[in-house]
Amino acid sequence: MNKEIKSIGYINTLSNCYVDEDEVTKKISLLYEEKIHLLKPNKKTIYEIMEYIKTKYTIIENHTTDLDKVSLTIENIGPGRELYELQIQEIKSLKAQLPILANTLLGKKETLIKVDFEVGTDLISVTGSQKLADIICILRGLDELDLNNKYVVVHYLELIDKYGDIVK
Protein backbone atom coordinates (compact mmCIF):
# COMPACT_ATOMS: atom_id res chain seq x y z
CA MET A 1 0.00 0.00 0.00
CA ASN A 2 1.57 3.30 -1.07
CA LYS A 3 1.17 6.37 1.08
CA GLU A 4 1.38 9.83 -0.35
CA ILE A 5 4.20 11.78 1.25
CA LYS A 6 3.71 15.54 1.35
CA SER A 7 6.42 18.17 1.38
CA ILE A 8 6.07 20.31 4.48
CA GLY A 9 9.27 22.34 4.46
CA TYR A 10 12.91 22.75 3.57
CA ILE A 11 16.12 22.07 5.46
CA ASN A 12 19.18 24.35 5.47
CA THR A 13 20.67 22.72 2.38
CA LEU A 14 17.56 23.82 0.50
CA SER A 15 16.79 20.25 -0.50
CA ASN A 16 13.24 19.04 -0.02
CA CYS A 17 12.36 17.66 3.38
CA TYR A 18 9.63 15.06 3.25
CA VAL A 19 7.70 13.83 6.25
CA ASP A 20 5.10 11.14 6.42
CA GLU A 21 2.42 13.15 8.23
CA ASP A 22 0.50 10.02 9.16
CA GLU A 23 3.55 8.64 10.99
CA VAL A 24 4.11 11.91 12.88
CA THR A 25 0.45 12.04 13.89
CA LYS A 26 0.61 8.41 15.06
CA LYS A 27 3.63 9.15 17.26
CA ILE A 28 1.90 12.18 18.77
CA SER A 29 -1.26 10.17 19.37
CA LEU A 30 0.66 7.32 21.03
CA LEU A 31 2.54 9.66 23.35
CA TYR A 32 -0.69 11.48 24.20
CA GLU A 33 -2.51 8.24 25.04
CA GLU A 34 0.45 7.03 27.09
CA LYS A 35 0.74 10.17 29.23
CA ILE A 36 -2.67 11.90 29.37
CA HIS A 37 -3.79 9.93 32.42
CA LEU A 38 -0.89 11.45 34.38
CA LEU A 39 -2.01 15.03 33.78
CA LYS A 40 -4.64 17.10 35.56
CA PRO A 41 -5.71 20.69 34.96
CA ASN A 42 -3.09 22.93 36.53
CA LYS A 43 -3.41 26.25 34.70
CA LYS A 44 -2.15 29.24 36.67
CA THR A 45 -3.51 32.74 36.42
CA ILE A 46 -1.79 35.53 34.58
CA TYR A 47 -1.12 37.16 37.97
CA GLU A 48 0.72 34.07 39.24
CA ILE A 49 2.96 34.11 36.16
CA MET A 50 3.59 37.84 36.60
CA GLU A 51 4.57 37.26 40.22
CA TYR A 52 6.96 34.45 39.24
CA ILE A 53 8.74 36.75 36.75
CA LYS A 54 8.95 39.55 39.31
CA THR A 55 10.48 37.30 41.97
CA LYS A 56 12.86 35.39 39.69
CA TYR A 57 14.32 38.28 37.65
CA THR A 58 15.29 41.90 38.10
CA ILE A 59 12.70 43.68 36.01
CA ILE A 60 11.50 47.07 34.84
CA GLU A 61 7.71 47.18 35.03
CA ASN A 62 5.70 49.32 32.62
CA HIS A 63 1.96 49.87 32.59
CA THR A 64 0.31 51.23 29.48
CA THR A 65 -2.49 53.76 29.60
CA ASP A 66 -4.77 50.76 29.25
CA LEU A 67 -4.62 49.31 32.75
CA ASP A 68 -5.12 45.80 31.38
CA LYS A 69 -1.62 45.74 29.89
CA VAL A 70 1.62 45.22 31.80
CA SER A 71 5.08 44.85 30.32
CA LEU A 72 8.01 43.41 32.28
CA THR A 73 11.47 43.95 30.82
CA ILE A 74 14.05 41.49 32.12
CA GLU A 75 17.29 43.23 33.02
CA ASN A 76 20.63 41.79 31.97
CA ILE A 77 21.76 41.10 35.56
CA GLY A 78 21.43 38.20 37.95
CA PRO A 79 19.35 35.32 36.55
CA GLY A 80 18.40 37.45 33.53
CA ARG A 81 22.01 37.45 32.36
CA GLU A 82 21.73 33.75 31.42
CA LEU A 83 18.79 34.54 29.12
CA TYR A 84 20.72 37.34 27.40
CA GLU A 85 23.82 35.13 27.02
CA LEU A 86 21.68 32.42 25.44
CA GLN A 87 20.17 35.01 23.11
CA ILE A 88 23.67 36.08 22.00
CA GLN A 89 24.64 32.43 21.34
CA GLU A 90 21.47 31.93 19.27
CA ILE A 91 22.20 35.10 17.25
CA LYS A 92 25.79 33.97 16.60
CA SER A 93 24.54 30.57 15.45
CA LEU A 94 21.98 32.14 13.13
CA LYS A 95 24.57 34.56 11.76
CA ALA A 96 26.93 31.67 11.02
CA GLN A 97 24.20 29.86 9.08
CA LEU A 98 22.50 32.80 7.36
CA PRO A 99 24.68 35.91 7.79
CA ILE A 100 22.89 38.33 5.47
CA LEU A 101 19.43 37.44 6.74
CA ALA A 102 20.53 37.48 10.38
CA ASN A 103 22.19 40.89 10.10
CA THR A 104 19.13 42.31 8.40
CA LEU A 105 16.66 40.89 10.90
CA LEU A 106 18.67 41.17 14.10
CA GLY A 107 21.14 43.97 13.60
CA LYS A 108 24.27 43.81 15.69
CA LYS A 109 22.93 44.09 19.24
CA GLU A 110 20.80 42.11 21.64
CA THR A 111 17.06 42.51 21.87
CA LEU A 112 15.45 43.42 25.17
CA ILE A 113 13.74 40.46 26.76
CA LYS A 114 10.16 41.43 27.55
CA VAL A 115 7.11 39.65 28.85
CA ASP A 116 3.84 41.36 27.99
CA PHE A 117 0.60 40.57 29.81
CA GLU A 118 -2.89 41.46 28.63
CA VAL A 119 -5.05 40.81 31.65
CA GLY A 120 -8.38 41.23 29.85
CA THR A 121 -7.57 38.60 27.21
CA ASP A 122 -5.35 36.42 29.43
CA LEU A 123 -2.59 36.70 26.81
CA ILE A 124 1.10 36.41 27.64
CA SER A 125 3.74 37.11 24.99
CA VAL A 126 7.51 36.91 25.25
CA THR A 127 10.01 38.78 23.09
CA GLY A 128 13.72 38.02 22.97
CA SER A 129 13.92 34.64 24.71
CA GLN A 130 12.52 31.34 23.52
CA LYS A 131 13.74 29.70 26.72
CA LEU A 132 11.72 32.08 28.87
CA ALA A 133 8.67 31.58 26.63
CA ASP A 134 9.01 27.81 27.08
CA ILE A 135 9.41 28.10 30.85
CA ILE A 136 6.32 30.31 31.05
CA CYS A 137 4.42 27.73 29.00
CA ILE A 138 5.31 25.06 31.60
CA LEU A 139 4.49 27.35 34.51
CA ARG A 140 1.17 28.35 32.98
CA GLY A 141 0.06 24.74 32.83
CA LEU A 142 -2.93 23.27 31.06
CA ASP A 143 -6.68 23.58 31.51
CA GLU A 144 -9.42 21.11 30.59
CA LEU A 145 -9.60 22.37 27.02
CA ASP A 146 -5.81 22.09 26.59
CA LEU A 147 -5.85 18.54 27.94
CA ASN A 148 -8.21 17.54 25.13
CA ASN A 149 -5.73 18.71 22.47
CA LYS A 150 -3.06 16.06 21.85
CA TYR A 151 -0.73 18.52 20.12
CA VAL A 152 -0.80 20.98 23.04
CA VAL A 153 -0.29 18.16 25.55
CA VAL A 154 2.66 16.65 23.65
CA HIS A 155 4.29 20.08 23.28
CA TYR A 156 3.82 20.67 27.02
CA LEU A 157 5.39 17.27 27.81
CA GLU A 158 8.35 18.01 25.53
CA LEU A 159 8.95 21.31 27.35
CA ILE A 160 8.78 19.57 30.73
CA ASP A 161 11.40 17.07 29.51
CA LYS A 162 13.60 19.96 28.40
CA TYR A 163 13.13 22.47 31.26
CA GLY A 164 11.26 20.64 34.02
CA ASP A 165 14.17 20.76 36.45
CA ILE A 166 14.37 24.57 36.11
CA VAL A 167 10.70 25.11 36.91
CA LYS A 168 10.50 22.93 40.05
pLDDT tens for 130-166 read: 999 999 999 999 999 999 999 999 999 999 999 977 7
Domains in the chain: how many in total?
2
The verdict on 112 and 162 lying in the same domain is yes
The verdict on 150 and 82 lying in the same domain is yes
Residue 55 or residue 164, greater confidence: 55
Mean pLDDT of 98-103: 66
Within 20-146, strands assigned E span 59-63, 69-74, 113-118, 123-127
Domain of 89 in residue numbering reads as: 41-167
The verdict on 49 and 122 lying in the same domain is yes
pLDDT tens for 59-90 read: 999 887 666 899 999 999 999 999 999 988 88
Share of the chain above pLDDT 90, in %: 60
The verdict on 73 and 93 lying in the same domain is yes
Mean pLDDT of 45-60: 95
The verdict on 147 and 106 lying in the same domain is yes
**Residues whose CB is less than 8 angstroms from the CB of residue 1 and which lie 6 or more positions away in sequence, other chains included:** none
